[in-house]
Amino acid sequence: MKIAVVAANGRVAKKVIAEALDRGHEVVAFGRHAEDDTQAKEYIKKDILNLTKEDLAGFDAVVDAFGAWTPETLPLHSTTTQHLADILSGTDTRLLIVGGAGSLYVDPEHKVQLFDTPDFPEAFKPLATAMGKALAELRQRQDVKWTYISPAADFQADGERTSKYLLASEMFTLNSKNESIISYADYAIAMVDEIEQGKHIQQRISVVRA
């Protein structure tokens, strides 16, 4: 498959690129930095908001690994997601979002999200809220083949690659050890599995270490 990864120099993005390349896929990385810190054979220096329909034409899937953490940049989660959705509108190219855990639901009625609970860390609430808003806006798009993948709450950059994960729904899910944990490496496996299989079009799913 031909896969584009945008915001490609982030740590999750680099794991996804490596996983896709290991499986023989063709990967083009897009990043706003001059230096290419990825394993992709082709790197294009371009900010997400400057990408055009022509840039992403012909890809089977686009992985959006954008992340922002400062108060003034948090709204870019919505802006960048909608820009990519606009570009891919009406095409067969799938849009896969590296999401957050804070917007997962903790009740069967889907009324209470993880970031609404008393024990959710206050420091992460603005980020979780911004990412949740971007997801809510994405849900309104029927013109894009999107999939939003939330990691477990404990999302470990240097966690081990176990090659085993549980595919969960929109509910905050614990594994058999009562943990909500996954490594970037195992998350990347789940992402590339979804790219290959395409089973969750216009859905949000989540992953946790098995």
Q: Looking at residue 148, what is its pLDDT?
A: 98
DSSP bridge partners of 183 = 156
**Who contacts 145 (Cβ-Cβ below 8 Å, separation ≥6)?**
88, 92, 93, 94, 95, 201, 202
**Who contacts 123 (Cβ-Cβ below 8 Å, separation ≥6)?**
none
pTM above 0.85, yes or no: yes
Can you tell me which residue has the tokens 């395409």?
Answer: 198
Q: Looking at residue 127, what is its pLDDT?
A: 97
Instruction: Compute the distance between CA of residue 159 and CA of residue 144 in angstroms, rounded to an integer.
Output: 32
Instruction: Compute the distance between CA of residue 31 and CA of residue 5 in angstroms, rounded to an integer.
Output: 9
Q: Looking at residue 20, what is its pLDDT?
A: 98
Residue type, position 86, single letter: D
Per-residue pLDDT of the chain (210 residues; tens, 9 = 90+): 999 999 999 999 999 999 999 999 999 999 999 999 999 999 999 999 999 999 999 999 999 999 999 999 999 999 999 999 999 999 999 999 999 999 999 999 999 999 999 999 999 999 999 999 999 999 999 999 999 999 999 999 999 999 999 999 999 999 999 999 999 999 999 999 999 999 999 999 999 999
Instruction: Compute the distance between CA of residue 156 and CA of residue 186 in angstroms, rounded to an integer.
Output: 10
**Who contacts 166 (Cβ-Cβ below 8 Å, separation ≥6)?**
173, 175, 207, 208, 209, 210
Instruction: Compute the distance between CA of residue 70 and CA of residue 88 in angstroms, rounded to an integer.
Output: 28
Q: Looking at residue 24, what is its pLDDT?
A: 98
Residues 4/58, Cβ–Cβ less than 8 Å: no
Q: Looking at residue 175, what is its pLDDT?
A: 96
Q: Looking at residue 207, what is its pLDDT?
A: 98
Q: Looking at residue 94, what is its pLDDT?
A: 98
